[in-house]
């Protein structure tokens, strides 16, 4: 996905990658790297929210509402 020119290619569009907009500040660690544990926690929370939303929707459909 990345080439030596620092361009990001996705679906025919390309733009330069700036570290300021590529990684949200909440995921940066104290050394300027990526806090993978925080990323994984947020991914897990997002998955839980999706499942909870699906269960709520199924309950609504089951009840006819």
Residue 52 predicted with pLDDT over 90:
yes
- pLDDT value of residue 32: 86
- pLDDT value of residue 39: 95
- pLDDT value of residue 2: 45
Q: Six-digit token pair at 8?
A: 């990001």
- Residue owning tokens 């020119």: 5
Spatial neighbors of 7 by CB under 8 A, at least 6 apart, are 14, 15, 16, 17
CA distance 56 to 35: 32
CA distance 39 to 23: 11
pLDDT digits 0-9 by tens, 3-40: 445 554 555 556 565 655 688 999 999 898 999 999 99
């Amino acid at each position: 996905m990345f080439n030596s020119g620092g361009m990001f290619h996705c679906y025919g569009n390309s733009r330069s990658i700036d570290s300021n907009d590529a990684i949200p500040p909440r995921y940066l660690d104290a050394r300027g790297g990526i806090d993978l544990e925080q990323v994984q926690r947020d991914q897990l929370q997002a998955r839980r929210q999706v499942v909870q939303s699906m269960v709520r929707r199924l309950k609504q459909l089951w009840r006819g509402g």
